[in-house]
Amino acid sequence: MFAIGDELETVNASRVALTSLQHSDADTIFTIYSDPEAMRYWSTVVMTDRAEAVALIESVHRLFAEQSLLQWGVVRRDDARLIGTVTLASLDAQNMRAELGFMLSRDCWGQGYMREGLVALLGYAFDKLGLKRIEADVDPLNAASLGLLQRLGFQREGLLRERWRVGDGIQDSVILGLLSREWQAPAVSKSS
């Protein structure tokens, strides 16, 4: 098993902190995950009810207790505003791997917050948890996320055709991977 502990550890970066999601975050989570533009490339449909955000947070806590998922809120340090989430899902202790997920409030796009949060998360995953591999599954039309992951060192490993059925649509997936031996934490700047 991983050395996760009883509580999700806060991970600090320069402008953001990765913190445990609380029930009081449900309204903000709902706002982020109900935005059709932010959810355009997600593998599920947009949230339509605040109760879905509450259920997500409860699921995050339950899966943390099972040590199969770690999901943090991305919080701006200057104003303590929750602006997104980062996730290590499908934690596999035997193979020392996990799947990466991330979501950012649309009004914060292009400001380097997610890059900073992912650099902190990847450092934690490789250095603290001892993971050897992190995978990401991205819609091939999501150029921003693909570019971000590639700048962080992820390599394209394949295309899974018609992998996700979302609402009435079908989405392909680009699979990317990053190995601990390849990880070099890049310098993070606001314009990154």
pLDDT digits (tens, 9 = 90+) for 81-138: 999 999 999 999 999 999 999 999 999 999 999 999 999 999 999 999 999 999 999 9
Determine the average pLDDT of the residues in 8-31.
Answer: 96
Q: How many CB atoms lie within 10 A of CB 168?
A: 6
pTM for the structure as a whole: 0.90
Q: How many CB atoms lie within 10 A of CB 144?
A: 13
Q: The CATH number of 11-182 is which of 3.10.129.10, 3.20.20.220, 3.40.630.30, 3.30.2130.30?
A: 3.40.630.30
Cβ partners under 8 Å of residue 51, min gap 6: none
Question: Do residues 162 and 185 lie in contact, with contact meaning Cβ atoms separated by under 8 Å?
Answer: no
What confidence category does residue 38 fall into, taking pLDDT thresholds of 50, 70 and 90? confident
Q: How far apart are CA 44 and CA 161, in angstroms?
A: 16
What CA–CA distances, in Å, run from 165 to 20, 42, 44, 143, 170? 30, 11, 8, 20, 5
Helical (H) or strand (E) element with 73: strand 69-76
Report the pLDDT value the prediction gives residue 74, as an integer from 0 to 100: 98
Determine the average pLDDT of the residues in 47-76.
Answer: 95
Cβ partners under 8 Å of residue 126, min gap 6: 134, 180, 183
Determine the average pLDDT of the residues in 162-168.
Answer: 71
Domain positions in the chain are 11-182
| Phi, psi for 76 (deg, rounded to 5) | -70, 130
